[in-house]
Copies of this chain bind each other. A is one copy, B any other.
Amino acid sequence: MNYPNGLKKKINNTINYGNRGMTLEEDLNVSNQYYLENDIAVIYKKPTPITIDHVDYPNRSDAVITKARFKIPSTTDYNGIYKGRYIDFEAKETANKTSFPLANIHTHQIEHLRKIVKHGGIGFIIVSFSSLNRLFLLDAKELFNFVDTNNRKSIPLEYFITHGTEMNISLRPRIDYLKYIKIGDYYEKDK
């Protein structure tokens, strides 16, 4: 396999979620843009990692990549800073109605999140159950608890309901996920 899970679909831009015509990635990008413009946080999606095999220079000031391949990412897709804290997360959509298949997240992305939490960062995953129109944030520690104590290939929806936080879609920011993160023992929204 030469491209990460889901990437092909993402590029063709065919996944919508919640029938709103926006992808989770687009919603997160505009939310991050809102955080940036309102001086709340500086969080970016990392570029898609690729291996460049060939570049053409049709003229002196132009460069066109004519051959490249997708690489499996070493880290999560999003990171940045919020209130002096390092923030790191992965965002995924699933059409599945009862559980989130762990095949959507690479093992080394989970290992990356473990390192982040160990070094004092805030890690989590955002999962959209697109067919259900439900969106959750799951703290990295709850993710680790699940994978460390279960020998299952997917996380049941129920686990997100009981151990995660369900998020609403609003206007601005579209997904106010920073409200739902846990800093120390407290959720931002309860402060």
Would A11 and B52 count as touching, CB distance under 8 A? Answer: yes
A146 an interface residue at 8 Å Cβ cutoff?
A: no
Q: Measured between C-beta atoms, what is the minimum distance from A144 to chain B in Å? A: 16
Query: Interface size on A (CB < 8 Å)?
Result: 48
Which B residues lie within 8 Å of A48 (CB)?
Answer: 47, 50, 52
Q: How many copies does the complex hold?
A: 2
Q: Measured between C-beta atoms, what is the minimum distance from A185 to chain B in Å? A: 16
Which B residues lie within 8 Å of A8 (CB)?
Answer: 55, 57, 63
Cα A63 to Cα B46 with chains together (Å): 20
Would B81 and A116 count as touching, CB distance under 8 A? Answer: yes
Which B residues lie within 8 Å of A88 (CB)?
Answer: 81
A41 an interface residue at 8 Å Cβ cutoff?
A: yes
Contact of A121 among B52, B84, B112, B116 (CB under 8 A): B84
A171 an interface residue at 8 Å Cβ cutoff?
A: no
Which B residues lie within 8 Å of A191 (CB)?
Answer: none
Cα A121 to Cα B57 with chains together (Å): 38
Cα A28 to Cα B83 with chains together (Å): 27
A49 an interface residue at 8 Å Cβ cutoff?
A: yes
Instruction: Render A19-52 as a binary contact track against B, CB cut-off 8 A, 1 for contact.
Output: 0000000000000000010010110101111101
Give 5 CB contacts A-B under 8 Å: A11-B52, A39-B118, A47-B71, A84-B120, A86-B86
